[in-house]
Chain A
Amino acid sequence: MAVMGADLTRQTAVVLAEAIRTGEATAVGVTQAHLDRIDSVDERVHAFLHVDTEAALDAARNVDAKRSAGEALGPLAGVPLALKDILTMRGVPTTCGSRMLENWRPPYDSSVVERLRAADIVILGKTNMDEFAMGSSTEHSAYGPTRNPWDLERIPGGSGGGSAAALAAFEAPLAIGTDTGGSIRQPAAVTGTVGVKPTYGGVPRYGLVALASSLDQAGPCARTVMDTALLHSVIAGYDPRDSTSINAPVPDVVAAAGKADVRGMRIGIVTELNGEGYQAGVAQRFRESLAILEHLGAEIVEVGCPSFEYALGAYYLILPSEASSNLARFDGMRYGLRVGDDGTHSVEQVMSLTREAGFGAEVKRRIMLGTYALSSGYYDAYYGSAQKVRTLIMRDFASAFESVDVLVSPTAPTTAFKIGEKVDDPLAMYLNDIATIPVNLAGNAAMSLPVGLAPEDGLPVGFQIMAPPMADDRLYLVGAALESALHDKWGHLLIEEVPAL
């Protein structure tokens, strides 16, 4: 009777699913509680771009009917989820945070949505994001910024700031994000929530609107490591409709989160992702977490990854190059916005007018950067060199993982900054991703989990764990052990300290 009389929006997915299975709560009741919460706080937080009230309640009624009929329910049946607005969902607006797709309702479900539906997870709606996932603050959304529930004057991270803010504001216990250079992990870090970028190819991308195809990866977000693991196991696994999907068994992330044991593990601090450039409170919470892991029986060593220093440069050549190519599809012909089709303009003029009107400042900036990096005469110096740096980064990881089981770093160099502080300073904005980018370039798996508040500003600090490709389970072994030790120390999860809205 854990949830009887308690606020349903404050519970973990594990507790809610159990309450629905045992009949202590109904899926409709759980969904309605979250819809009410969205109704009362989202005007201030702006995590959602679209709330799918009727369909969510229908899905919840379906779960309750299954239970009444005696059907077995899955581990997350009836639990509400917030979906990043970059994944297609049949008949539901999918804008990618852009005017370009303002009124587009896709005629199909993404693989991730199919799997969520098959698991009887209740999708509440679509969450705000930087336009086409380009950004680290959600300020580049065409629909206005999302605010950080810890301090409404601050950014919730990006690009998946809406999904992370929905979790921290108790609008949903589960969320889906996508991570191209840190868009799951950095928002998790600055909102005191958990986010995982699975191994590249681990979660199918069919129906995920492409930003940079060699980097993009959808993944699970939640307020606890175990909730994240359960969601991970729902969405991961081979899909023949994605040619980069890995056809191999998914690592047992749920068992790893349950085991929560680091005894005998070797954990490597990355020399290049530590020290200078990290806010004092971030560095302090990072060091304290290492001491906890050591106390729990892990061996902490330091590992050099010299090429990581060049990762940011390589990323901001590779990503714009791939994005400039991928976003060529938004030409105003088959879907989305069309501008200037008045009988006088040619098709090429209409394309240029449409793209000028439909794309925001950061998207245009990156499209031109990519067009430049790929243009003849510059290709070798820019894109070609960036691809070589990518090789060196993969070698650094491979060599590090010969001597350690996982690598760790702070997730982001600072806590949440103020809205407006970096919005027109692209280089300052790009620096937020300095610790998360190497993993995307190499295709590894990584997690961010909250490890305390920075003493100087009282804002959450994220701890990043990086594992080799297809060793996603190690993230959960370490993450769950650290989370459990911190829970024992504080007597609650960090998210319980978020101010009331």
Chain B
Amino acid sequence: MTAITRAEVAHLATLARLDLTETELDHYAQQLDVILQSVARVSEIATADIPATSHPLPLENVFRDDVALPCLDRSEVLAAAPAHEDDRFKVPRILDEEH
């Protein structure tokens, strides 16, 4: 049984924003299939009556008083960015040619 096809791996790469090479697609299609067939065993004992656990601690919203606290220095943050201009992050064009 095949759990995942090469076409599905290519689609996943697009979703995950990974510009994979053809060789990588071949390699991952085979490896992901093996891994998924192994981990799919979890469904053997995951019956409908068992509640899901997302987190080891009971999580609740954590609030604090609405007071201003020191934050990161803007120039230091921008200095670590790949590009910046006029005190802002500079990014490539966000629209495709046809838009």
Total contacts A to B, CB within 8 angstroms?
174
B2 within 8 A of A: no
- Measured CB to CB, the nearest residue on chain A to B64 is A240
B18 A333 Cβ-Cβ under 8 A: no
Q: Could you jot down 29 A-B contacts, CB within 8 Å? A: A105-B80, A214-B55, A310-B44, A313-B42, A316-B35, A333-B91, A334-B81, A346-B95, A346-B96, A347-B94, A352-B18, A355-B16, A355-B19, A365-B31, A365-B32, A368-B13, A368-B18, A372-B36, A382-B36, A384-B52, A385-B43, A386-B39, A387-B52, A388-B42, A388-B47, A388-B50, A389-B46, A443-B57, A469-B56
B8-25 vs A: 1/0 string, CB under 8 Å?
110011111111110010
B81-99 vs A: 1/0 string, CB under 8 Å?
1110000010111111000
- Measured CB to CB, the nearest residue on chain A to B97 is A346
Residue among B36, B72, B96 with the highest chain A CB neighbour number at 10 A: B36
B18 A346 Cβ-Cβ under 8 A: no
A387 B54 Cβ-Cβ under 8 A: yes
Among A303-331, those with CB < 8 Å from B are 307, 310, 312-314, 316-317, 324, 328, 331
A206 within 8 A of B: no
Q: Which residues of B contact A343 (CB under 8 A)?
A: 92
A381-403 vs B: 1/0 string, CB under 8 Å?
11011111111101000000000
Which 9 pairs between the two chains have the least Cβ-Cβ distance? A443-B56, A338-B82, A387-B52, A385-B46, A388-B46, A107-B76, A356-B19, A352-B19, A313-B39
**Chain B at the A interface: mostly helix, strand, loop or mixed?**
loop
Q: Which residues of B contact A356 (CB under 8 A)?
A: 18-21
- Measured CB to CB, the nearest residue on chain B to A370 is B16
B31 A313 Cβ-Cβ under 8 A: no
> Closest CB-CB distance, B2 to chain A, in whole Å?
13
Interface range, B side: 35 or more
In the complex, what distance in Å separates the CA atom of A348 from the CA atom of B96?
9
B42 A394 Cβ-Cβ under 8 A: no
A375 B15 Cβ-Cβ under 8 A: yes
